[in-house]
Amino acid sequence: MRHAPAMISLHVAVALFGFAALFGKWIALPATAIVLARTAIAAATLAVVASLRHQSLRHPGRDLVLNGPLLALHWVSFFAAVQLANVAVALLGYASFPVFVLVLERGLRARAMRFVEYGTALLATLGLATLVVDVSWSSNATRGLALGLVSALTFALLVVRNRRFVAARSATCIAMWQNLVAAVCLLPIVALAHGMAAWPRRSDIASLLVLGVACTGLAHMLFIASMRRVSAHSASVVASLEPVYGIALAAWLLGEMPNGRTIAGGVLIVAAALIASQESGVGDARAVSVASTPRDE
């Protein structure tokens, strides 16, 4: 893959990751049921891809298995945020995750944060505060933003944890096991909490297939393939556009037009995320919803 096609693939992958948020509005199912379907379909898609590429899907081990519940919580909180508030609030809450990565890694290394890192955290905080009109917990926007931040924190934990796996496993393998374990964790929860109410209608099945195959499996493959020609710095810049793509698609397809506060807060959060990506080195992981890296074979 040459540089120009690689950049196109990268933008398409990031747009697909942002596009996934819209399915929280389109699919009339609980967030847990949406994520169960997404992870199961994505795991099957990635297993087929790994088989075609003759990649090993050996036993994941306990540490990688523990990432499954984290991935489930990450996506459930994200889709719950979309359903409770809107696509913009959910995406911008999640977009702050590189700041969480920065803080977590500094804590693990027991090293004091530098001035630029404090500035990044302050920038993200100002951006998030700009989004909040009503600070009361009764506000759907406030609760949606809180869920978006849970989504960001759990994804940051996945990024930090996955650094130990990438040297020995392909990104596709990591993603497949995380999705599979997440689906297994969610199955009894969905069955007990929702029963037949969580069963998708015929009109939902096509949407779930697009979400699992295109917005997860295909997006993952395009992202990984593009990283063979695109630098981590370039990837971090493009990946920071995920909420921009998602909000633009929501405005076009859902009629969710962002107001001035959303645009202002979004600019601050995206700027903070981009700076934090460079400081913590998460650049290429910025948009990969499976918290993987480009070290794929």
pLDDT tens for 107-148 read: 766 566 677 777 888 888 899 999 987 778 888 989 999 999
Tens-digit pLDDT profile for residues 47-76 = 998 888 888 787 788 888 999 999 999 999
- How much of the chain is in helix, strand and coil states, percent to nearest 5? 75, 0, 25
pLDDT at residue 244, rounded to an integer: 92
What are the residue ranges of helices labelled H in 20-169?
Answer: 23-26, 31-52, 61-65, 67-84, 87-94, 97-108, 115-131, 140-162
The share of the chain scoring above pLDDT 90, in percent, equals: 45
- Reported as a single tens digit per residue, the pLDDT across 178-223 is 999 999 999 999 999 888 888 888 889 999 999 999 998 888 778 7
What tokens appear for 234 in the block?
């370039």
**In whole angstroms, what is the distance from residue 78 CA to residue 93 CA?**
9
Rg (CA), the chain: 18
Please tell me the predicted confidence (pLDDT) of residue 109: 67
Compute the mean pLDDT over every residue in the chain, rounded to the nearest whole number.
84
For 32, phi then psi, to 5°, come to -65, -40
Q: Which residues contact 83 (CB under 8 A, 6 or more apart)?
A: 24, 25, 31
Cα–Cα distance, 150 to 170 (Å, whole number): 27
Domain layout of the chain by residue ranges: 3-285
Helix (DSSP H) and strand (DSSP E) numbers for the chain:
15, 0
Q: How is residue 223 written in tokens? A: 């992202």
* Per-residue confidence (pLDDT) for residue 59, from 0 to 100: 78
Tell me the mean pLDDT in the region 26-54.
92
pLDDT for residue 237 is more than 60: yes
157: helix, strand or coil: helix
pLDDT band at 166 (very low <50, low <70, confident <90, very high): low
Task: Give me the pLDDT at residue 283, please.
Answer: 43
Q: How many Cβ atoms sit within 10 Å of the Cβ of residue 138?
A: 7
If phi over 0 gives left and psi between -120 and 50 gives alpha, with beta otherwise, what is residue 222?
Answer: alpha
Count Cβ atoms below 10 Å from residue 21 Cβ, excluding itself.
27
Q: How far, in Å, CA of 177 to CA of 175, rounded?
A: 6
pLDDT range class, residue 281, cuts 50, 70, 90: low
Question: pTM of the prediction?
Answer: 0.88
Closest CA to 99 of 272, 278, 294: 272
What distance lies between CA 84 and its chain's CA centroid? 18
End-to-end CA distance of the chain: 14
> How many Cβ atoms are within 10 Å of 171's Cβ, its own excluded?
28
The whole-number pLDDT of residue 91 equals 94
| pLDDT computed for residue 293 by the predictor | 40
d(CA 291, CA 71): 9
Q: Would you place residue 171 in the very low, low, confident or very high pLDDT band (cuts 50, 70, 90)?
A: confident
Q: Which pLDDT belongs to residue 294? A: 40
Give me the pLDDT at residue 288, please: 42
| Mean pLDDT of the region 287-291 | 40
Q: Let me know: does 81 contact 151? Beta carbons within 8 Å.
A: yes
- Determine the 3-state secondary structure of 122 from DSSP: helix
Nearest to 232 by CA among 282, 274, 279: 282
The pLDDT value given to residue 291: 43
Which residue reads 């994941």 in tokens?
60
